Structure 1
C-alpha cells in the first residue's frame, strides 16, 4: 500500500504509556491503508522498532486518532490503536486510559476545542467501545500548561494533573452476572469497568504476586496457564474468540505491601505490565468492592471514601470508584459503577512531522523462463 510520505504527528506521554497522536484527517480514512501507514510510522514488525517511533514495548507502541465529534454530547472522538511490536498487526479492540490522558491537551493544542482561561474540560467519546470520559486540565491564559506538581508512579518528575472522570458505562460491570466464577479450575472475578479484566488470586496460580514482571514472563508454565484461562474467559465475557485480541486483561491479586488496597501484576495479554493501565485499574478497583468476589480476604479496603490505591510493580495508582451493590432501583440485584475517576498526567514530547518507512515495493512476477532479471533460467 502507498500513503503519505510525511505526516503531522505529536508524540506524547500519557500516564505510564507513550504514543503518537494524530488528527484523523491526517491519516487515510480506509482502515487497512491507515494501519499499513501506522505500522511503517511505528517501525513494526520488528522487536526493536528500530526504524520507527515505537519503543519496542506494547506500552510505547500506541496511537491516538482524534477528531472533532459529530455528536453534540461530545467535543472530540478518540480512537485508540495498539500497534503490535513484532507482528504486522494493528488492533482497535480495547481502550487505553493512559493515552486518553493526552487527548484533551492534544485537542486544545490542535484547535479542536477552545480553551478556558484557567482550566478546560474536554468531553471525549472513546470510539473503541462507545464509552465516554471527561478530562479536565489547566489552561492558564488559554494555553495548555504541561508543567505542574502532580506525580504518578512509574513516571519520573512531575507534570500538570489531568483529572479523568468516567460516567457509568453501558456494558455490565459483571459480564457473567456473577461476582465469582471458576474458569479452567481457577477462581476468578470477571469485571468490566471500562476494561474487560479477569481478577485472579496470585496464590491460585502458584505465585506470590510480588514477582517482577521479568520473573513472571520467564515462567513458561505460568504463561501457558494464563493463556488457557484468558481464552476461556473471553467468550464468557461476551468477547468471543480472543486468540488474537489484547483483551481481557489478567490481573493477579495479592495482599498490599505498601499501604494500598491490593498488589497487582497485570498481563497485556502476554507481557507483564510494568505498572497498570488506567481502565484496568478502574476494573480492579471496582472488583475489590464487590462482596463475594475473589478479592475478599486479599484486599484491604479503606474505611472511608471512594479512593482505592492499587499497587503495581513500579508504585501505585489511585482510583475513585463508587459501586452500587444493588443497581439502580434494584436492591440486591446487579452491581453497577456510579462514578469512577483518576488523576493522570501527560506531557508533550515533540510536535512535528514524522516520515514513515517507505511502503514495500510489490514483488515482481517471476519471468516465464525463471529469471526476474530477464535472463533464462540455467
Structure 2
C-alpha cells in the first residue's frame, strides 16, 4: 500500500470558527488548481464524507464552524498582500462549497500570512499593528486586517473576549470594503446590495406560506425573516432548532426559494449543491435570555436579536459574514433588520448595532449611503480574534 503524503499546514481558530490553512505553494501540484483533485484532497484532510457525521478520520469537528479549509497565496492583485480562498467542506457528502467567504476565518488570514512569510518583512513593524490587505478570491472583495505585532511576531495573546470563544486573545480589527455582492441581481434586476430592488420582499414558499423577507448581498448573501413569522422568538439556542427535523426542513425550503428569488440559483433543486450560500437568519426586537454559556443577556444591552443557520443547522454564535450582512441591513431604513432594531441603534456607538446571538452578543458597524437612488454599503467593521492551534503537516492517503 502506498504511504501517506504529508502537506505543510496550520490549524487556526479565527473568530468562532477553526480550519486547516495551507499556502498554495505547499499543496500537491494537482491541487494547486481548482477542480476535482483539490476538492478530493480537502475532503480527505477534513474527513468527509462521513456517514457517521463525526469526521473522526480527519481534521474536521463535525460542525459547519469546524469543517473548513483555507488556501492563501501571494496576491496577484495590485495593492494587496495575499489572496485568500475559502472552502466550506460538507460533512456527510463529497462536496466543497466555494460560493462564499468565511468572515470568522478572515480574522486568521492576516496572522497566518505574516507568520508564513507571505507578507513582505518591510511591511511588518517590530511592535504595533500590521495592516494586511487581503483579496477574498471567492467573492472578489477586499478585506483589511489590522493584526497586532510584538517583537516582530504576530501577537496572539490578549484580553479581548469574544462571545462564543472560551478564552480571551488579541483583538484583530477587520474592515470589509464595499462588501455588497457585485452580481447582476435576482428578480426585479435590483442593485447588488438588494438583488430584487426591494428592501422587503414576499417569499411564497410551498408548504410554508407567504413570508416577508429582506434579501441582501453584503458579506454573504443572506435572507432575513421575522422570527415571529416562523414560529420563533429570537431567543432560541441550538437545541431548540437543531433537534427539530421539521423546523430544519422548513428553514431549508425557505432558503431554497429565497436563493431563487435572489438569482443565486435557477431552481430550488440546485440549493442542495449550494449549501454555504445564501445564509438564513431570523430577527426580533430585544428580549432578555440566557446564552449557551449561562450568561444572562439583557434586552437593555442590545439593539436586536438574531439567529442564523449555516449548512442546515442553527449556528452556535454568528457567522462573521452574516454579521456583516446584519450591520449592512441595520444601516438601511426599512429592512426587517432595521425594523427589529427599532429603527436604529439604541445603544451608543453611531453606525453600529449590538445584537444578541446564541452565545452572547456582538457589535458590528457599517457605513451605508443612498447614491443615485440605490443603497450602497462602503465598509463594514468588526473585531474578532485568532490563534494558531497547531502547525506542522497534515497526512492523508494518496487520492486515486
Say yes or no: TM over 0.5: yes
Q: How far apart in 1 are the matches of 2:62 and 2:113?
A: 27
Match of 2:281 among 251, 255, 260: 251
Partner SS, residue 191 of structure 1: strand
Q: Which moved more, 1:307-316 or 1:295-304?
A: 295-304
Corresponding residue of 2:337: 295
Q: Deviations over 1:67-124 (max 9, x none)?
A: 0011122110000001111111111111001011100010011101022222201000
Corresponding position of 2:41: 37
Q: What does 1:111-260 correspond to in 2, within 5 Å?
A: 111-113=117-119, 114=121, 115-117=124-126, 118-169=128-179, 171=181, 172-184=192-204, 185-240=210-265, 241-245=270-274, 246-257=276-287, 258=298, 259-260=301-302
Q: Please, which runs of 5 or more residues in structure 2 have no aligned partner?
A: 182-191, 205-209, 288-297
Q: Compute the RMSD of aligned alpha carbons.
A: 1.7
Aligned to 2:309, which of 267, 270, 277?
Answer: 267
The 3 A distance-change label for structure 1 pair 169 and 296 is: closer
Task: Provide TM-score, normalisation by structure 1.
Answer: 0.90
SS for the counterpart of 2:252 is helix
TM-score by length of 2: 0.85
Asked whether the 8 Å contact 1:3–1:37 carries over to 2, the reply is no
In 1, Cα distance between the equivalents of 2:328 and 2:380?
9
Deviations 1:323-353 (CA, angstroms, capped at 9, x unpaired): 11x22xx2xx111112211100000001101
Aligned-partner Cα distance in 2 for 1:64–1:4 = 21
Which is greater in Rg?
1
Distance 1:4 1:202, change over 3 A: same
Following the alignment from structure 1 to structure 2, what is the Cα–Cα distance between the partners of residues 4 and 231?
40
What's the CA shift for 1:296?
5.0
CA distance change for structure 1 residues 11 and 222 in 2, over 3 Å: closer, same or farther?
Answer: same
Going by fraction, where is strand more abundant, 1 or 2?
2
Structure 2 contact 283–307 (Cα < 8 Å) conserved: yes
Note the C-alpha offset of 1:358: 4.7
Whole-angstrom distance in 1 between the partners of 2:19 and 2:261: 31
Confirm or deny: 8 A CA contact 1:45 1:86 kept in the other structure: yes
Question: What are structure 1's unaligned runs of at least 5 residues?
Answer: 361-378
The number of equivalent residue pairs is 354
Whether contact under 8 Å (2:4, 2:398) holds in the other structure is no
